């Protein structure tokens, strides 16, 4: 019993020392991250307003979308939301923090930039809901048009690519799946390789 208790006690001490080391290391890393964040934030808050006229604005191409009235009021509400967005400025800032935006374009522009980014998020979200609703109601042609337009806007909504690939598979058009896959690297979504592998399976 004595011979067994010594190794257990030793292992307990070693574990306690390791845990303490990890906690100290984690606290130190958190402190460094916080210091780095506030340093960048201080820099960002001193950046003057910069010209934002040449941003990569998205113009909603209404001629590519099915705008006719539908018997489904929900589908019409999605269309009306996109029509309203078409009159607003839209920019995709996915992956950029407010601090990074202020560093690039100035603190005075942050509210406008946040609005433009919010418009983009709303655009790709509603486009997916619109396309999905059309598909579920049996209007595959219009659903395809809406989803393809979302992809042309470099949406990072994985579910849009999945649904569109499923439609292409149903239509036995694997070449279109290849085109869809080719669009993924230009997006700002995470885990692109995983989605590409998934879509490749739709071709078989």
pLDDT in tens, 125-170: 999 999 999 999 999 999 999 999 999 999 999 999 999 999 999 9
- Is residue 194 domain-shared with residue 104, that is, in the same domain? yes
The answer to whether residue 54 is domain-embedded is no
Stretch 91-104: mean pLDDT = 87
For 164, other C-beta atoms within 10 Å of its C-beta total: 26
For 203, other C-beta atoms within 10 Å of its C-beta total: 15
pTM beyond cutoff 0.85: no
- Is residue 103 domain-shared with residue 135, that is, in the same domain? yes
Sign of the CA dihedral with 161 first, then 162, 164, and 168 last: positive
- Is residue 108 domain-shared with residue 20, that is, in the same domain? no
- Is residue 88 domain-shared with residue 19, that is, in the same domain? no
- Is residue 154 domain-shared with residue 113, that is, in the same domain? yes
**Where in the sequence is the domain holding 40, given as residue range(s)?**
1-44
Total domain count for the chain? 2
- Is residue 36 domain-shared with residue 72, that is, in the same domain? no
- Is residue 71 domain-shared with residue 168, that is, in the same domain? yes
């Amino acid at each position: 019993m004595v011979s067994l208790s010594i190794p257990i006690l030793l292992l307990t001490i070693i574990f306690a020392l390791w845990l303490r080391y990890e906690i100290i290391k984690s606290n130190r890393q958190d402190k460094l991250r916080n210091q780095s964040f506030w340093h960048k934030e201080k820099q960002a808050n001193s950046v003057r307003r910069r010209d934002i006229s040449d941003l990569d604005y998205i113009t909603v191409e209404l001629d590519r979308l099915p705008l006719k009235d539908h018997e489904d009021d929900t589908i019409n509400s999605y269309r009306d939301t996109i029509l309203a967005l078409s009159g607003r400025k839209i920019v995709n800032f996915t992956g950029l923090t407010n601090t990074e935006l202020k560093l690039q374009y100035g603190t005075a522009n942050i509210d406008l930039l946040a609005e433009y980014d919010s418009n983009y998020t709303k655009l790709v979200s509603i486009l997916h809901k619109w396309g999905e609703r059309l598909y579920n109601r049996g209007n595959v042609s219009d659903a395809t048009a809406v989803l393809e337009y979302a992809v042309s806007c470099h949406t990072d909504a994985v579910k849009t690519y999945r649904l569109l690939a499923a439609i292409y598979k149903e239509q036995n058009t694997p070449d279109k799946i290849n085109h869809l896959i080719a669009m993924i690297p230009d997006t700002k979504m995470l885990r692109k390789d995983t989605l590409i592998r998934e879509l490749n399976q739709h071709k078989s």
